[in-house]
Amino acid sequence: MDVNETPELATFRAEVRDWIETRVPPQLKGLRQSIVQGPGLSHEELQPYNEALADKGWLAPHWPKEHGGAGFTIPQLVIFNEECAKAGVPDRHTTGLDMLGPILIKYGTPQQQEQFLDRILHDRMIWAQGYSEPEAGSDLAGLQLRAEVRDDSFVLNGQKIWTSKAHKADWVFLLCRSDPKPKRKQEGISFILCEMNTPGITVRPIVTMDDFTHFCEVFFDNVVVPRENLVGELHKGWEVAKALLGHERFLHPTSNPLLIRNAINNLKSVARETPVGNGVAWDNSDLRRRVAALEMDCDGLLYTRYRSLTRIEHGAAPGPETMMFKLFGAEMMQRIIELHQEVEAQQGVVWDDTPQGNGPGETARHATNIRAATIRGGTSEVQRNIIAKRVLGLPD
């Protein structure tokens, strides 16, 4: 991928900037792209932004045009994300749009695509991701949610945990063990779509340290799911799961160098305004050195991301470097938030109930949430093991 823009890409960047300037409402610009998993903006608050995207045909920039997307090339998608991040417009990342949608486009049946894609595109249904279990987190292949295979259905029994927004979701896509005695634990797993109001499903919300309820436990007790809700081949769901995790790690806020750069810039802005002695916090040379190190790391993540985008642009699947994004980005965000709290001192532990706002009290809520970033989606220790084997070629 050539990061030096062609005249065509420069024209496209100007088009994106003009659209943001003229079509995105003022109240939906200049927002901090919060990493807090709180309620965020309501559907009503986001409606003008969604309408502007729909009018332009940009509701799903990364989807192909034949499925209602914008059909952006990889360089166009990078430019679009860059300009949106710079302008502070809402991040329209949803589980359905960014994770399930591309999977249904690749693996779904025509019936599944017809049933779900348009509703996902226009934000008319909420999806949850049913992956983690009490004994299967980083080691996802150890999952035990049982799917008894019948002629026309599956019968689910077991539990999922840390299921984001399950208490609000209309549907859940999940991994289940359809073959109880596989040769390898990655085999015998199926990828299934399940409606949340199906009899036998019980949802218990979990209140986390940041005082939000975004995680849930989900219990399945003889839940019957139609056979046509299977995505991909029976017992071959691990292939689908790996493809989906590649999308998740690419699109998650803590993996996005543009949002990380925004967090660094916000830290610098606060440091320049925070009184310390006869000056401000930014006068401290050690602080400036630590911020410069963060900026260099962020640039390294950005160009590694470009390398992965080049693979995708050439028709290859996202490589194992996507695990670097999750690992490196999550640990970098922890460093930023910790340094931010150092700069704010007492103010850094003040609680703020407006995670989409620009108040200084957002930092404390960020700090409680970011501790989980190196655990969810695969712990840093597991990611390092995988990178050592699959990227560096080190022996087991």
Residue spans of the domains in the chain: they are 7-93, 127-235, 252-390
Q: What residues act catalytically?
A: 248
Least confident stretch, 274-278, 287-291, 383-387: 383-387
Average pLDDT of the residues in 130-145: 87
Label the pairing between strands 127-130 and 171-177.
parallel
Distance CA 44, CA 175 (A): 32
Q: What CATH number does domain 252-390 carry, 1.20.140.10, 1.10.10.10, 3.40.1110.10, 1.10.3720.10?
A: 1.20.140.10
CA distance readout (Å), 254 to 121, 189, 260, 330: 24, 28, 7, 5
In this chain, the answer to whether the domains covering 127-235 and 252-390 adopt an identical fold is no
Residues in the chain, overall count: 396
Digit-coded pLDDT (tens) for 340-371: 989 988 777 777 555 444 455 577 777 877 88
Instruction: Output the six-digit token pair for 313.
Output: 């642009």
Quote the pTM value. 0.82
CA distance readout (Å), 39 to 80, 157, 163, 211: 25, 30, 15, 11
Average pLDDT of the residues in 211-238: 94
The CATH code belonging to domain 127-235 is 2.40.110.10
**320-357 per-residue burial string, b: 16 or more CB within 10 A, e: under 16:** ebbbbbbbbbbbbbbebbebbbebbeeebeeebeebbe
CA distance readout (Å), 6 to 11, 14, 276, 312: 9, 12, 46, 19
Backbone dihedral angles phi then psi of residue 229, each to the nearest 5 degrees: -90, 5
Distance CA 360, CA 395 (A): 47
- Residue 389: count other Cβ atoms within 10 Å of its Cβ: 13
**237-263 per-residue burial string, b: 16 or more CB within 10 A, e: under 16:** bbebbebbbbbbbbbbbbbbbbbbbbb
Distance CA 30, CA 321 (A): 31
Residue 247, pLDDT score: 57
Q: What pLDDT band is residue 36 in, cutting at 50, 70 and 90?
A: very low
